[in-house]
């Protein structure tokens, strides 16, 4: 997966709710390392992010019909990479 391409997908589709790895709707469910480990179904890994982005969850919309599989894989790689880096 292409992390740099994933950053572009993130800025265009996710940052409205998740700027800086935060969550404006459910503040505890951030994209930080510890929150992903605690809350993300399937654990903190790219496949789990792909599943949630594809299918959505509660107030988070599903992107399966709006983004391609490659775009979803790239944004998942960006989320995991950024969680490791602490979202700078
Ligand atoms: C949760 C990624 C777009 C709202 C999450 C989580 C991830 C994620 C990985 C799990 C975080 C955790 O449990 O700690 C993404 C990505 C997006 C995206 C990669 C773009 C492709 C959005 C948008 C919104 C949104 C646009 C708001 C309209 C939420 C909400 C949750 C969440 C409300 C908590 C869901 C729950 O557990 O009830 N997101 N998100 N997300 N996201 Fe997104």
ipTM of the complex: 0.98
- Give this prediction's pTM: 0.98
Let me know how long the chain is: 88
Is any atom of ligand 1 closer than 6 Å to the C-beta of 72? no
Is any atom of ligand 1 closer than 6 Å to the C-beta of 75? yes
**Helix-helix angle 3-13:69-85, to 10 degrees:** 100
- Spell out where the chain has E strands: none
Q: pLDDT tens digits, residue range 21-57?
A: 999 999 999 999 999 999 999 999 999 999 999 999 9
pLDDT at 64: 98
């Amino acid at each position: 997966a292409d992390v740099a391409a994933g950053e572009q997908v993130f800025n265009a589709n996710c940052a409205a709710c998740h700027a800086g790895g935060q969550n404006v709707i459910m503040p505890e469910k951030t994209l930080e390392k510890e929150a992903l480990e605690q809350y993300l179904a399937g654990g903190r890994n790219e496949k789990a992010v792909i599943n949630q982005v594809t299918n959505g969850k509660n107030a988070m919309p599903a992107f399966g019909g709006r983004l391609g599989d490659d775009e979803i894989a790239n944004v998942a790689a960006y989320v995991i990479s950024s969680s490791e880096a602490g979202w700078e």
